[in-house]
Every structure is written in structure tokens, then in C-alpha cells.
Amino acid sequence: RPMQPFNRMSNPNGLTRTYSRAIDAFGFDKFGYQYDDLNFHGLTIPQLQKQIEEREKEDHVFANFMLRGIGTSADVEFDLCNEKGVCNFAGTFAVLGGPLEM
């Protein structure tokens, strides 16, 4: 379903009005975006690629959170705990909720 207010006829930007569904944002090239300097958390694309390659050499754990239907947006902080109950901060993720959540 289209997201408000992007789908409204009062939106003067025809591109965002046409591509107003959340899934449409993944094809950012159709919006005519070009980047002179694209950074992610302060890293250039080559720096980010190098960091990803270095991290791929280490063991990883994957955790899947199914929060469908939460109906609200939130920042979630979580800890990992060992068998002795000692917990350490493990990360943060964002939930974009509401009537059009994916």
C-alpha cells in the first residue's frame, strides 16, 4: 500500500508520489539520485568493503527478531547473556512500525 503523505496529490514531487510504497525505495536510481560522495557511518564504499571483508574472517552469530504487527516505531537495545547471567550490550536495531509496516 502507498505511504502517506508521499501518495497524496498535494505532494509536489511526482517521483515520490509515483513510487510511494516502501518497497519502491530500494530502486533509488529511478529517483535520479547520483552521489558525489557516498558514505555509510563515515566510511567510503571501498573502506566499507574492506571492513566487511575483515569482519567476514571472524565467527558470527545471527539473531532473527519477528516483530511483525508491533504497530509502532522503536529503537530496540539488546544484551547477550552467558550461562552465568552476565550480560553485555550487543546492539541496537530500529523497528519502523505503523499501519504500513513490512
Query: What would the pLDDT profile of 51-101 be if each residue is shown by its tens digit?
Result: 989 989 988 777 776 666 677 788 889 998 999 999 999 888 887 776 665
Contact between 93 and 65 under an 8 Å Cβ cutoff? The reply is yes
> Quick one: average pLDDT of 25-40?
72
This model's pTM is above 0.85: no
Contact predicate 72/94, CB 8 Å: no
- Res. 50: pLDDT tops 60: yes
d(CA 44, CA 34): 15
